[in-house]
Amino acid sequence: MSPTATLRSDAAPPLRLVEQTNIEDQGLESSNCAQIEFRDVTKMYGPIAAVSELSLSIRRGEFLTILGPSGSGKTTALMMLAGFEAPTKGDILISGKSVAAVPSYRRDQGIVFQSYALFPHLTVRRNLEFPLEMRGVNARDRMSRVDRMLKRVHLDAFGERMPSQLSGGQQQRVALARALIADAPILLLDEPLGALDRNLREQMQGEIKALHREFDKTTICVTHDQEEALTLSDRIVVMRGGRIEQLDTPEALYDRPATRFVANFLGEANMLDSPELGFEKKANPGTVPMIRPERVRIAAERAKPLSDQDRRCVVIGTVEEMIYAGPLRKYQVRVGGNLLVVREHVASAQETFGPGDRVRLDWLRADVRSLGE
């Protein structure tokens, strides 16, 4: 039986879609119940393990981001899921079934690459029609689905243009629309906003979030941009050297990083492993205390102590740098051999300090996190 699905749109009444591809004979269950599992997956390139013993379950409808520095194995993991690379060891399952024998074009996934990968010789409309044609959708249905989708991504006036006649953001919206139009249950995004400038990236993050809410696809996104990962994801996998360093929600990863690597990768972090900051190595082997810059308060050296002072760590230092960052002020404060970063909201700041000012920094002991090395 052909799986059916409903495509929602703000701009139009619900549209009934009929999938033409019979994926059940490929060993996959019907769409819209996608659930992905990496089981102990390793990918070797000669002697290099691009991905090592990766085990990971992705829930239906989840937005999961694979985050990590260059060379950490993010793209390789995504390419194996897409079917462009085969694992050297281990297995990948979709809805409980191995996809080892399923070629990429039968995996029923929409894919968006950083470089848009639109067909340059086809109009926007023809680009969107292509995946529908591949699935045998008839001309009349193709037309109405393309019209709806163009409207949904605010490109209804651009259907007859060639990709080269669009801006970067518009091209990326076409790429997203093309990945969504066939209503595949899984959406793979490979650095989808990497080619866009900062403002456009933020705008497109909002757009991707809205599309995810609306279309409810299981989405796996690869990025090295921590802000993008924190903004978009239900959960984030932080990769390092082909392995998972930590997997959690954005909030938990930021607030309770397990290791020094994760703490540094997801924002700024003050490591407090120095005797000048009250740290005793012998008492805490293998761990590093860390405080986030926005958890540190800054006051004049001789300011009156606060009432909860007994619950706080206090150090005295000298401001080296003060940087305006829009709504925030960022200080770099020298405390002996350490340079601590403090971030303060301008609206809540009592006083402004400049280079050379002696200041008192304090933070709640409860806000200090103990990290693995």
Q: Which residues bind ligand ATP (CB under 6 A)?
A: 45, 48, 50, 68, 70-76, 224
DSSP track, 144-172: HHHHHHHHHTT-TT-TTS-GGGS-HHHHH
For helices 124-134 and 168-181, what crossing angle results, to 10°?
20
Nearer to ligand ATP, 243 or 295 (CB): 243
DSSP 310: G
Q: How far is the CB of 132 from ligand ATP (least distance, A)?
A: 30
Minimum separation from the CB atom of position 262 to ligand ATP (A)? 15
Min dist CB 45 to ligand ATP, Å, is: 3
Kindly state the smallest distance separating residue 222's Cβ from ligand ATP, in Å: 6
Give the integer Cα–Cα distance in Å for 298 and 22.
63
Residue 300 backbone phi and psi in degrees, to 5: -60, 150
- Of residues 265 and 331, the one with the C-beta less far from ligand ATP: 265
The nearest distance, CB 84 to ligand ATP, in angstroms, is 10
Nearest approach, Cβ of residue 133 and ligand ATP (Å): 31
Identify which of residues 21 and 76 has a Cβ nearer to ligand ATP in the complex.
Answer: 76
Of residues 27 and 71, the one with the C-beta less far from ligand ATP? 71
Q: What are phi and psi of 44, to 5 degrees?
A: -105, 135
Closest CA to 176 of 198, 206, 199, 139: 206
Closer residue to ligand ATP in complex, CB, 53/156: 53
H or E, element range at 212? helix 198-215
Cβ nearer to ligand ATP, comparing 224 with 369: 224
Say which residues have a Cβ less than 8 Å from residue 175's Cβ, sequence separation at least 6.
112, 113, 116, 117, 118, 192
Strands 328-335 and 287-291: unpaired
Residue 241 in 3-state DSSP?
Answer: coil
